[in-house]
Structure 1
Amino acid sequence: MKKRLSLAALAVVSALSLAPASAQEKVLRIGMTASDIPTTTGMPNNGFEGMRFLGFPIFEGLILFDLTKTDQLATLRPGLAEKWEQAPDDKKTWIFHLRKGVKFHDGTDFNADAVIWNLERIFNKDSAQFEAGAVGIMRSRVPILASYKKIDDSTVSMTTSIVASYFPWMVPYILNASPASWEKGGKDWAKVAMLPPAGTGPFRITGVVPRQSVTLARNDAYWDPAKKAKVDQIVLLPIPEPNTRLAALRSGRVDWIEVPPPDGIPSLKQAGFVISTGSYPHVWPWFYNMAAKNSPLADVRVRQALNYCIDRSAIVTLLNGTAEPSVGWLKPNDPAFGKPENRYTFDPAKGKKLLAEAGFTDKKPLSFKVMISTSGSGQMLPLPMNEALQENLKQACGVDVQVEAVEWQVLLNAARAVPDDPSLKGAMALNVSSPSSDVGMMFRYFAYANSSPTGSNWEQWKDDKFEDVMKTLSEATDEATIQKYFAMAHERLVDNPPWLFIVHDLNPRAFSKKVKGFVSPQSWFVDLTLVDLQ
């Protein structure tokens, strides 16, 4: 299956390289890691790579990320809302003042009715426009939205289930598509996907070839003239196999590839290609299935032991230095890392001691299955990386790990299942890369209220100290208090680990020399309006 997909992708890029183009047109061709094109209805699947390329460039939220800086974490900026604030009489309610005069790509008006229509699309199963395929994706990213209403044509409110100072960090993931697109598609989301649908962003979708490519064109009527894109078109191609992406770049069939194979980076540099890397909030872990029946990972000593048993530096070497060791959800130099009792190093003796205390010895070794992907957003090189971990755990601590490889979207679906769901095939861990960008993301992944299947806490991890700290953090308004309790919360993630922390990658990409203006932000996402071709 993987080979067939790679050949299909190559066929598309070959055709593109031979197709005639206007001498004046700038067409940027990008090789993604996904094995299929992300969905195009306004809430893309395929993880954050889907959001990176078929989410934010086309369909926008009331709040956007500022992706123009490399020296600090991405911040928030006004999007389809010019400003927002907590209601003076209710800290659970947020008021959004919408930008006036914005049009969807199809020429229809963006207004409060469109916002409510899009919220109903996801959060009201009885709405005519309910999009079942998008519900799990968006609800898991905005798990605390309780209600919403139109105040007037340019003002809406959203109310959360708890007081949450970090709610604005969740709002960018609520994307807005044109209600008129749904009508034009016969009120059938499958047909809407092929129209294609309209958003408000700096790019619009102009062509969809299922499982092969998506073409974007610059939106010359974009509401922010300062953010008008520099290229005329972008062609997105799913090329899941790293060496196939490398070949496509070398041959000139694409201009940009996500995650070049690490062993190919030196030769790319020597040949004049541009390699981009940079620190950003991302961690590549195993999620522990601690709530499954008879799970060996229910014992915190086992979860800690595995964190002492792995040689993170060997994985960094495997990736040719395009990653750094992970000993927590955040990086050790992050002010919110805190001072946990456990500072994980490669210490097999300590790992084996903890395993023995939990009842696992050479005569009764720990054994479990991990489900991984063959490629995908932020997954780097999952097959060789997991094979290395499998051997490492066996040699260092006598742990037997079986690996079940599936496609990326199948793995994402598994991460929304309950711990004993048949779709997991008995897996006691999932290898799903994760953002680690802000308090809202921490709440999404680790608060017990967000336990699977309704939220992203697949492990159904519960730590009472963490819960107490998060409550204080949620109600805080001053930055000093937020940072203090953010660090306290992170300490619990290290000392009572719901994950096996492995590496933080450095977001590698490779470009032809004609790609100019790219900024590698401290974010999963990128600002495609900055990119030019010369």
Structure 2
Amino acid sequence: MTLRHLALAAIVAALPAAAQAQQKTLRIAMTASDVPTTAGMPNNGSEGMRFLGFPVFEPLVDWDLTRADKPADIRPGLAESWAQDDADPRKWRFALRQGVSFHDGTAFGADSVIWNLDRFYKNDSPQFDAPAAALARGRVSIMSGYRKIDDRTVEIETSRPISYLPYLLTWILFTSPQSYAAADHDWGKVAAAGGAGTGPFRISRFVPRVSAELSRNDGYWNPDRKPKLDRILLLPMPEANTRLAALRSGQVDWIEVPPPDAIPSLKQGGFQVVTNSYPHVWPWVFAAGKPGSPVADVRVRQALNYCIDRDGMLALLNGTAEPSIGFYKANDPLFGKPENRYKLDAAKGKALISAAGYGPQKPLKITIGISTSGSGQMLPLPMNEFLQQSLKENCGVDVAFQVVEWNTLLAGLRATPEASQWLGADALNISLVSSDPSQMARWFLSSNATPVGSNAGHWKDAEFDAAFATVETERDPAKIAAALTRAHERLVDGAPWLYIVHDLNPRAMSRRVKGFVSAQSWYQDLTRVDLQ
């Protein structure tokens, strides 16, 4: 038995026997190297939100994950409705859902909303939680105030008018204040016990670095989303072949990101392999605002986009991705008509590299921070090795890597390009969300430069900012679409990223798994899933 299989056996052996024997216990192998944090604001990126976020803890505004035939959009969550103030568009009012209880039996209401917002945004609050606050503030950096209007109404104020605030609020999850008090006012103890949310599943067991067990919440407020499963076991397995072996041996029922070369044999073996288009970009995020970096020159960034073989990458991935030549997909109506249409064009790439002052006597050399696995990271090691070879063969670019664990790499997304968290790199390979305008603002607005927001590369473009000011303040959908199109054209021509692929979200499952709908989203509704 290999070390990999011994490690897997140890993980499974550590699970509670009752859970293993449960008839309707769905066992999921995640790409994460550790169990996401369990106190109500999970780490591990969107995979953490997918498995230990939305199933357990809920936001005011949630995602509608019921359909596979169109991109997911928002729906009411813990707020039944919301409205932007006509007199002061910086203010929004949210009417809270009534009759909702946390898993510990305490009622959800305006007081618990304010308590949670203080947890993230008020440094001197007794419940302030620095790690969770870093996540919340990096995602929702424009919140300038909030207050209780009455028991079922809260008002949230932003630093400037923001048309897409409801999309941003999908990132803020709510935890029971009582669960914090019961844990001696210690977030570490909350995590050890598993925080109490309002979601369809509750955390029933947590073993650090081994597993988390979710159990059905029989008192869930939404009768249309009562889970069919009794339990879900979440197992961190960062190595793709370990996940594959666990599925084939029957130790798990579902794996994230199966190895592409194993997909034909999985299908032949009767396993389900599910893919779907969704708002996912797998780029290199350039340190465009880092003085002295080669990628501070737009010509270098454009050149690298012309020097990679995207078709060869798709062959490596066995059809589980689409080529990326922008933030949006090429067939998106908002893609626009940028001056650059990236494809493999080595001559054009070399010419741009030469114009930037590099060549045989002064080779272009760059360093990229990459991870071994992680949320949405696909297969980062072989994919980055392919890019390294492609850039060398096509344009003579020398690429070196700094390889770290996923959460270490994520720290760069919240730091300035000169900071140590960037690993001295010229780009970070971090897969990112492209679902709505709020995400475009997160990654590219100059006012969202880290550490305030999530524009980690510090790219700055006056035309993009001007277009986005229209997106944020305009209320005419046609004018918003025109401004988004112009903003996207600037993203293509300004090349703040190396655009590589859009993932097709592959999962492999036992034939026993029924009812799964592959939503066009980073998130999935586990309440619909059943086991035969």
TM-score in same-fold range (> 0.5):
yes
For residues 322 and 134 of structure 2, the distance between their equivalents in structure 1, rounded to whole angstroms, comes to: 31
Kindly provide the CA deviation profile for residues 416-469 of structure 1, in whole angstroms up to 9, marking residues without a partner as x.
Answer: 111111232311110000010100110111101110122110111110000110
For residues 320 and 64 of structure 1, the distance between their equivalents in structure 2, rounded to whole angstroms, comes to: 33
Alpha-carbon distance, 1:157 to partner: 0.5
Structure 2 residue ranges without an equivalent (≥5): none
- Could you say if the C-alpha distance between residues 22 and 423 of structure 1 is closer, same or farther in structure 2, counting changes exceeding 3 Å? closer
> Is 2:16 the partner of 1:11?
no
Kindly provide the CA deviation profile for residues 467-522 of structure 1, in whole angstroms up to 9, marking residues without a partner as x.
Answer: 11000111111222221111111000000011000000100000000000101111
Tell whether the 8 Å contact from 2:289 to 2:460 is kept in structure 1 after alignment. no
Instruction: Give the secondary structure class of the aligned counterpart of 1:148.
Output: strand
Instruction: Find the partner of 1:114 among 97, 100, 112.
Output: 112
Q: Which amino acid aligns with 1:12?
A: I
Q: Which amino acid aligns with 1:441?
A: Q
The aligned counterpart of 2:350 is: 352
The aligned counterpart of 2:324 is: 326
Kindly provide the CA deviation profile for residues 247-270 of structure 1, in whole angstroms up to 9, marking residues without a partner as x.
Answer: 000000000000000011111000
Instruction: Give the secondary structure class of the aligned counterpart of 1:214.
Output: strand
Instruction: Give the secondary structure class of the aligned counterpart of 2:28.
Output: strand
Alpha-carbon distance, 1:24 to partner: 6.9
The aligned counterpart of 1:203 is: 201
For residues 87 and 4 of structure 2, the distance between their equivalents in structure 1, rounded to whole angstroms, comes to: 55
- Could you say if the C-alpha distance between residues 497 and 21 of structure 1 is closer, same or farther in structure 2, counting changes exceeding 3 Å? closer
Instruction: Give the secondary structure class of the aligned counterpart of 1:194.
Output: helix
Q: Which moved more, 1:287-296 or 1:490-499?
A: 287-296
Tell whether the 8 Å contact from 1:8 to 1:212 is kept in structure 2 after alignment. no
Tell whether the 8 Å contact from 2:119 to 2:125 is kept in structure 1 after alignment. yes
For residues 509 and 163 of structure 2, the distance between their equivalents in structure 1, rounded to whole angstroms, comes to: 39
In the superposition, the TM-score normalised over structure 2's length comes to 0.98
Alpha-carbon distance, 1:291 to partner: 2.1
For residues 220 and 423 of structure 1, the distance between their equivalents in structure 2, rounded to whole angstroms, comes to: 43
The aligned counterpart of 1:178 is: 176
Alpha-carbon distance, 1:196 to partner: 1.6
Tell whether the 8 Å contact from 1:13 to 1:254 is kept in structure 2 after alignment. no
Structure 1 residue ranges without an equivalent (≥5): none
For residues 46 and 5 of structure 2, the distance between their equivalents in structure 1, rounded to whole angstroms, comes to: 21
The aligned counterpart of 1:308 is: 306
The aligned counterpart of 1:439 is: 437
Tell whether the 8 Å contact from 1:92 to 1:164 is kept in structure 2 after alignment. yes
For residues 86 and 55 of structure 1, the distance between their equivalents in structure 2, rounded to whole angstroms, comes to: 27
For residues 17 and 102 of structure 2, the distance between their equivalents in structure 1, rounded to whole angstroms, comes to: 30
Instruction: Find the partner of 1:65 among 63, 78, 81.
Output: 63
**1:190-229 aligned within 5 A:** 190-229=188-227
**1:79-158 aligned within 5 A:** 79-158=77-156
The aligned counterpart of 2:501 is: 503
Instruction: Give the secondary structure class of the aligned counterpart of 1:336.
Output: coil
Tell whether the 8 Å contact from 1:6 to 1:241 is kept in structure 2 after alignment. no
Instruction: Give the secondary structure class of the aligned counterpart of 1:127.
Output: coil
Tell whether the 8 Å contact from 2:409 to 2:421 is kept in structure 1 after alignment. no
For residues 524 and 11 of structure 2, the distance between their equivalents in structure 1, rounded to whole angstroms, comes to: 24
The aligned counterpart of 2:528 is: 530
Q: Which amino acid aligns with 1:28?
A: L
Kindly provide the CA deviation profile for residues 32-61 of structure 1, in whole angstroms up to 9, marking residues without a partner as x.
Answer: 000000000100000000000000010101
The aligned counterpart of 1:337 is: 335
Alpha-carbon distance, 1:9 to partner: 4.5
Instruction: Find the partner of 1:188 among 186, 189, 196.
Output: 186
For residues 406 and 373 of structure 1, the distance between their equivalents in structure 2, rounded to whole angstroms, comes to: 5
Q: Which amino acid aligns with 1:387?
A: E
Alpha-carbon distance, 1:186 to partner: 0.7
Alpha-carbon distance, 1:6 to partner: 7.8
Instruction: Find the partner of 2:368 among 367, 370, 373.
Output: 370
Kindly provide the CA deviation profile for residues 250-305 of structure 1, in whole angstroms up to 9, marking residues without a partner as x.
Answer: 00000000000001111100000000000000000000012223111111100000
Tell whether the 8 Å contact from 2:19 to 2:231 is kept in structure 1 after alignment. no
Kindly provide the CA deviation profile for residues 66-96 of structure 1, in whole angstroms up to 9, marking residues without a partner as x.
Answer: 0011111111111111110012321110000
For residues 78 and 5 of structure 1, the distance between their equivalents in structure 2, rounded to whole angstroms, comes to: 43
Q: Which amino acid aligns with 1:282?
A: H
For residues 286 and 378 of structure 1, the distance between their equivalents in structure 2, rounded to whole angstroms, comes to: 13
The aligned counterpart of 2:407 is: 409
Tell whether the 8 Å contact from 1:58 to 1:204 is kept in structure 2 after alignment. yes
Instruction: Find the partner of 1:400 among 398, 401, 404.
Output: 398
Instruction: Give the secondary structure class of the aligned counterpart of 1:240.
Output: coil
Tell whether the 8 Å contact from 1:5 to 1:239 is kept in structure 2 after alignment. no
> Is 2:171 the partner of 1:161?
no
- Could you say if the C-alpha distance between residues 401 and 6 of structure 1 is closer, same or farther in structure 2, counting changes exceeding 3 Å? farther
Aligned length: 531
Alpha-carbon distance, 1:15 to partner: 5.4
The RMSD of aligned alpha carbons is 1.4
Q: Which amino acid aligns with 1:364?
A: K
Alpha-carbon distance, 1:7 to partner: 5.1
